[in-house]
Amino acid sequence: MIEGDLFKSLFDVIPFDIYVVDIATYEIIYMNKKMIQSRGDYIGQRCHERIYGEAKPCIFCKIPYLVDSKDARPLDKTIVFELFNPVDDRWYQLQEKVITWPDGRTTKYSIAVDITELKETQNRLAEAHAQLALKNKMLEKLSTTDSLTGLCNRLKIDDILEITLYAAQRYGRVFSLILIDIDHFKNVNDSFGHLVGDKVLKQMAEVLQSQIRKTDHLGRWGGEEFLIIAEDTDSDAAELLAEKLRKAVEITTFPEAGQITISLGVATWRDSDDRITIVQRADNALYRAKESGRNRIVVEG
């Protein structure tokens, strides 16, 4: 058996706080020189009272996990865990094991490494990561959102169209495009100024958004044009949605600009379509709607 002095000499050369307690009484029977110098001599006092400021054994005490539940014999097991001690307001990494002390008592030794600075660094790093993630999310939103209307911008709606087109080609999921143009918008800008024109665009976005389904995607296509990607929507359903939008705009009053109408072109996905062809078909339908008098819908045949 290792003599007590040898135990102490081994623990004394370790540059961290070490204490040993009798597991039957929780009495501190040994502290190494480092711990006595940093905290004082607690030998003879109960560990939970003197070290942790608790009136009874700590709820985080590892002794039950380090001895055999039948006869309290030491298990060949070491537990390492982190703990905040409110007594000295410090974080520690504790390494604990139950051993037989030279006088025959079953004891637990604890090696306590102060990791407060490491924890503070980890916390600062976690906070920095959180701030970075938030800023990245904000940047992503800015890069995909039209700054005036708050809708998806051209880049984002293009991405959604690519994904929708892939689903159509792979799984046969039909969808339709509704391309929308504000009638005589140039007259609004020329007559009332660009500030009023911007207000019209913002209000138009709100009106359109209020009429579409949660599964539809609305974006500003450019200038006074808007594009709706209507998933799982055939030509008939798309025409009904387009008419709903046309009527909603027609009965809306736009402050400073009065009554405004829209023209709409509808195109439904075909097996031969790619992104360019389906958009071109919707654009052709929109052109015919404008050429035939505006404030109307043309469904691409």
Residues carrying an active site annotation: 224
Determine the straight-line distance between the first and last CA of the chain, rounded to whole angstroms.
96
Q: Whole-angstrom Cα distance, residue 107 to residue 66?
A: 10
In the Cβ-directed half-sphere of 170, how many Cα atoms lie within 13 Å?
Answer: 6
Six-digit token string for 70: 């039948």
Contact 168, 175 (CB under 8 A): yes
The structure tokens 């070490």 sit at: 18
DSSP symbol at 295: S
Six-digit token string for 67: 């001895």
Burial profile 267-298: b = 16 or more Cβ within 10 angstroms, e = fewer = bbbeeebeeeebbebbbebbeebbeeeebbbb
Nearest to 257 by CA among 202, 198, 192, 208: 192
Burial profile 6-29: b = 16 or more Cβ within 10 angstroms, e = fewer = ebbeebeeeebbbbbbbbeebbbb
Amino acid at 167: A
Q: Whole-angstrom Cα distance, residue 286 to residue 13?
A: 85
